[in-house]
């Protein structure tokens, strides 16, 4: 197969970090991206070139293109962290082994990204996808499902029978609901809209708290008493989470993995750290990838794929946007915020 010299891609306009903290909401992409042409990237040693089938959109992508994520932008590089595609070239033993295989991947290198026709990634960051797995499930296979799986491992390791999960109508929240139910764990899901409650209960959340409910604080306090959750998994990092944390029992851990709320929380009770042994910490999937053993990674990825293939997990895709239409259509497609939006070349 002959590879083309150039390809279409969504190209970053900004460079480095931005001083803003505007969150994941996107009204228009014009300040951040442009649709254009880039040379097809070349794989170095230990890297593979992938023809992208489908790229997923995560909140981290939206933070990133704005310059508000934990990694700096490179102006002129393609955007997009995650997707699924076919390996068409590669350098090195493992890379050559992957040639011709369908893989899920994370993290473009050499100025490449998933929101493009081709991407170069480290072979080590590719996961061969079983044939029975749909592209829709494989495209968002790593970031959210592996985060859900490994965060649920934290809940299990803590010994807590229950946990609190904020922004629970996210894809991550839905994945967690099923994991919780199937493992006999009590998920206390915190959501914004009453209309989302039933679906989340069906997926496996035992309790659903709606932030706009005037009884929210009282209900949360009652659940903290009865279920005694020791883990708060939080994508919001705002005052609602801080107050939930304060209502939780001794030795509770507030684990922040996202920052949807742009207002900074106030820590009202220092005594909770001293006398109650509470803790605030963070979670980032990339650190898990750096620290976990190869065996743990393989077992986790296989378990995640099997959960999708068995139908225990399904990716709810609400919109699929073509690369050429992203600038025009993506902001509206993201608005409902209730399911996954995919990009196809």
Contacting residue, 264, 298, 303, 324, with its own copies by CB under 8 A: 264
Contacting residue, 119, 203, 248, 256, with its own copies by CB under 8 A: 256
Residues 286-325 as x/- pattern, contact with its own copies by CB under 8 A? -x--------------------------------------
Rule CB under 8 A: say whether 70 interacts with its own copies. yes
Of 31 and 277, the one with the shorter C-beta distance to its own copies is 277
Of 65 and 123, the one with the shorter C-beta distance to its own copies is 65
Of 264 and 324, the one with the shorter C-beta distance to its own copies is 264
Rule CB under 8 A: say whether 230 interacts with its own copies. no
Rule CB under 8 A: say whether 268 interacts with its own copies. yes
Of 29 and 255, the one with the shorter C-beta distance to its own copies is 255
Measured from the CB of residue 70, what is the shortest distance to its own copies in angstroms? 3
Measured from the CB of residue 207, what is the shortest distance to its own copies in angstroms? 25
Contacting residue, 35, 97, 284, 289, with its own copies by CB under 8 A: 284
- The pairing of strands 340-344 and 317-322 is parallel
Q: How far apart are CA 215 and CA 345, in angstroms?
A: 47
The CA distances from residue 75 to 13, 14, 67, 176, 279, in Å, are 5, 5, 11, 35, 38
Rule CB under 8 A: say whether 259 interacts with its own copies. yes
Residue 314's φ and ψ, nearest 5 degrees, are -135, 135
Tokens 């990634």 map to which residue? 121
Q: How far apart are CA 158 and CA 238, in angstroms?
A: 24
How many Cβ atoms are within 10 Å of 331's Cβ, its own excluded?
15
Q: How far apart are CA 64 and CA 18, in angstroms?
A: 10
Residues 110-139 as x/- pattern, contact with its own copies by CB under 8 A? ------------------------------
Of 140 and 258, the one with the shorter C-beta distance to its own copies is 258
Binding-residue total with its own copies (CB under 8 A) = 29
Contacting residue, 33, 49, 209, 280, with its own copies by CB under 8 A: 280
Measured from the CB of residue 288, what is the shortest distance to its own copies in angstroms? 11
225 burial via Cβ count (<10 Å: 0-12, 13-18, 19+): exposed
Q: Show the 3-state SS of 116-156.
A: ECEEEEEHHHEEECCCCCCHHHHHCCCHHHHHHHHHHHHHH
Rule CB under 8 A: say whether 157 interacts with its own copies. no
Q: How far apart are CA 41 and CA 37, in angstroms?
A: 12
Measured from the CB of residue 225, what is the shortest distance to its own copies in angstroms? 18
Q: How far apart are CA 209 and CA 295, in angstroms?
A: 37
Q: How far apart are CA 187 and CA 91, in angstroms?
A: 45
Q: Which one of 6-14, 114-122, 205-213, 282-290 is the stretch in contact with its own copies (CB under 8 A)? A: 282-290
Measured from the CB of residue 276, what is the shortest distance to its own copies in angstroms? 8
Of 246 and 319, the one with the shorter C-beta distance to its own copies is 246
| Residue 250 near residue 274 (C-beta atoms within 8 A) | no
Rule CB under 8 A: say whether 279 interacts with its own copies. yes
Residue 217's φ and ψ, nearest 5 degrees, are -65, -40
Q: How far apart are CA 204 and CA 180, in angstroms?
A: 7
By the criterion CB under 8 A, which residues form the site for its own copies?
70-71, 237, 242, 256-259, 264-268, 270-284, 287
């Amino acid at each position: 197969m002959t590879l083309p010299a150039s390809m279409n891609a969504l190209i970053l306009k900004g460079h480095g970090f931005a001083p803003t903290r505007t969150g994941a909401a996107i009204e228009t992409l014009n300040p951040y991206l442009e649709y254009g042409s880039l040379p097809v990237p070349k794989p170095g040693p230990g890297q593979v070139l992938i023809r992208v089938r489908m790229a997923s959109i995560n909140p981290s992508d939206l933070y990133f293109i704005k310059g508000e994520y934990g990694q700096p932008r490179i102006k002129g590089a393609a955007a997009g962290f995650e997707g699924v595609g076919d390996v068409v070239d590669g350098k090195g033993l493992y890379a050559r082994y992957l040639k011709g295989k369908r893989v899920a991947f994370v993290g473009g290198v050499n100025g490449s990204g998933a929101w493009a026709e081709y991407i170069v990634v480290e072979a080590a960051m590719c996961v061969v996808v079983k044939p029975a797995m749909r592209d829709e499930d494989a495209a968002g296979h790593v970031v959210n499902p592996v985060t859900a799986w490994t965060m649920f491992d934290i809940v299990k390791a803590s010994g807590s029978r229950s946990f609190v999960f904020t922004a629970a109508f996210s894809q991550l929240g839905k994945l967690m609901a099923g994991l919780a139910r199937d493992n006999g764990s009590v998920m206390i899901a915190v959501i914004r809209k009453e209309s989302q409650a039933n679906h989340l209960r069906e997926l496996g959340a035992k309790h659903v708290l709606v932030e706009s409910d005037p009884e929210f604080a009282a209900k949360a306090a009652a659940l903290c008493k009865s279920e005694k959750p020791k883990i708060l998994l939080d994508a919001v990092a705002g005052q609602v989470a801080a107050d939930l944390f304060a209502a939780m029992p001794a030795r509770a851990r507030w684990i922040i993995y996202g920052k949807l709320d742009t207002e900074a929380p106030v820590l009202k009770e220092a005594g909770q750290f001293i006398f109650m042994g509470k803790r605030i910490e963070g979670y980032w999937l990339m650190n898990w990838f750096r620290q976990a053993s190869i065996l743990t990674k393989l077992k986790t990825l296989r378990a995640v794929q099997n959960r999708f293939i068995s139908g225990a997990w399904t990716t709810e895709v609400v919109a699929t946007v073509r690369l050429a239409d992203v600038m025009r259509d993506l902001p509206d497609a993201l608005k409902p915020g209730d399911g996954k939006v995919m990009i196809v070349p």
